[in-house]
Chains A and B, each alone.
Chain A
């Protein structure tokens, strides 16, 4: 069951739809009718669909522009370097889809097959899905309120023909709102391995990330760990490091210690990362010697280890 905002009396309580906090909730009428206790049938359908997907990883951050999409894309690239690993990348940032650009797939279209929407394949073992593939022009704005975004996410999970997949990586928009609640709710029965949380070193970013961590606790989403992005900048001329986004409160390291969650690694800021993303190429291949590539590879390995330690399929860890 979805963790609902603030003081929700619960769909199956006598107060359902009648409490003060029910005002303005989209489910108010449904809850008041008593039908709220029944779960969305899509959750079961998605569970069926996800049986062929071994591991599901969410990439989250409270803050925008910290590198969620860059990380998601390179996690997918890195995992897919092993040709025996099937990787799927799903972009649920409905209003600001960056994945098509970063993956070099701008202008691609989604095709309909007998078994659903086909993802766009970058390699044989790397399929990508994004609302960006459904827009007719790069200027198209998706001006949608919550319920419509939720419908799209449901479709992405239920109606896309992902096939046999080892890793499904879900890239999310910033915040803790509709998209996040929906993806967690829809995948609840299908079991999510966990979330990777991205931050930058400054306190302004960390304070949003703490909110995201509190969100994970609220919805009982396991946290794989935190990645600190843009930590330090190496001047291409003098090779000396300086802090563009200074970790005035100890950065992600202090936060992780404080909150007792693992720090997966720190990725320095290399101007070549942004350039690779703009060109739609894998930075790991473009700049194999960069300290950022080394950091990325070690983080990817830790995520693989985390996933392989999870119980085999069928064991439902979520919703205990």
Chain B
């Protein structure tokens, strides 16, 4: 009885990439943000959908806090973070009256909002839609994968930090991807090293190499290591012009190379 899926609001979106990790605090939101900046740098139009309902971080990182989502003719109009309107963003953070308010929701309510996020946001024309997820393998993940399945996402980018504790959770996330039939585009190792600003010694704060080893072990592509960059964190937090600052960051080469790999996954000229 089910009719062919209406592409609806995702009709103008060319590629959908999910950013996942079993572990919290490994930098999913940071990587999503940085990747959006890197893709923008390559001249692409990017949307970010933040489905972390209990801890939305992207509005703050992109300095879009306190902005409001408007209702348009075809649905919710996402928030544009730059003047050129090349990055648009949707997050539960825009729907809260108080920024400190806790979203104390059990699964079914979270699922309902995620479905709405997937169907009711008027993204318009996008080259990439990045979907940032909360840690774990539970309600939000199943809901978003189910809702996006008819739109054939390109796959998932799995983020880890180098230590074994994080790698353990990420192994479980890879199992999740396999079980739900989501292709893994590749693994990204975040927070690989920290260069001391005083003596330039590079310390592997969270050890090193775990991501690459895991990728080899699990047979998924390793996309690269992104170093810790306090300057970029500060730039994101201070609300400086991160778009301007971004190319100077030590994280930039790593991110550009990851963006290039994603771009090469998707031969141009399909549309």
Residues in A lying within 8 Å of B, measured CB to CB: 3, 5-6, 23-26, 62-66, 69, 94-96, 98, 101-102, 138-147, 149, 173-178, 180-181, 200, 202-205, 207-208, 210-215, 218-219, 233, 235-238, 240, 242-246, 248-249, 269, 271, 274-275, 277-278
Interface contact B138-A143, CB-CB below 8 Å: yes
Interface contact B54-A176, CB-CB below 8 Å: yes
Question: What B residues does A24 contact at CB under 8 A?
Answer: 108-109, 111-112
Known pairs A23-B112, A96-B172, A235-B203; list 7 more (Cβ under 8 Å).
A62-B55, A138-B171, A178-B107, A218-B102, A237-B203, A246-B230, A278-B207
The docked-state distance in angstroms from the alpha carbon of A229 to that of B35 is 27
Contacting chain A: which of B11-19, B76-84, B232-240? B232-240
The docked-state distance in angstroms from the alpha carbon of A84 to that of B204 is 38
- Whether a CB of chain A sits under 8 angstroms from the CB of B110 is yes
The docked-state distance in angstroms from the alpha carbon of A92 to that of B83 is 44
Interface contact A176-B102, CB-CB below 8 Å: yes
Chain A CB count within 10 A is highest, among B55, B179, B237, for B55
Question: What B residues does A144 contact at CB under 8 A?
Answer: 138
Residues in B lying within 8 Å of A, measured CB to CB: 22-26, 29, 54-55, 57, 60-61, 99-112, 134-139, 141-142, 161, 163-166, 168-169, 171-176, 179-180, 194, 196-199, 201, 203-207, 228, 230, 233-234, 236-238
A217 to B, closest residue via Cβ? B102
The docked-state distance in angstroms from the alpha carbon of A10 to that of B234 is 44
The docked-state distance in angstroms from the alpha carbon of A146 to that of B101 is 21
Question: What A residues does B169 contact at CB under 8 A?
Answer: 96, 98
A24-B108, A102-B165, A204-B57 given; A242·B142 CB < 8 A: no
Measured CB to CB, the closest approach of chain A to B133, in angstroms, equals: 11
The docked-state distance in angstroms from the alpha carbon of A178 to that of B111 is 13
Interface contact A63-B55, CB-CB below 8 Å: yes
A176-B103, A218-B104, A235-B203 given; A240·B22 CB < 8 A: no
Interface contact A243-B196, CB-CB below 8 Å: no
Question: What A residues does B173 contact at CB under 8 A?
Answer: 141
The docked-state distance in angstroms from the alpha carbon of A141 to that of B172 is 5
Question: What B residues does A275 contact at CB under 8 A?
Answer: 207
Pick from A146, A176, A271: contact of B108, CB below 8 A: A146
Pick from B102, B106, B194: contact of A212, CB below 8 A: B102
Interface contact A271-B205, CB-CB below 8 Å: yes
A177 to B, closest residue via Cβ? B54
A65-B25, A95-B22, A235-B196 given; A214·B207 CB < 8 A: no
Question: What B residues does A242 contact at CB under 8 A?
Answer: 196-198, 230
Measured CB to CB, the closest approach of chain A to B106, in angstroms, equals: 5
Interface contact B24-A174, CB-CB below 8 Å: yes
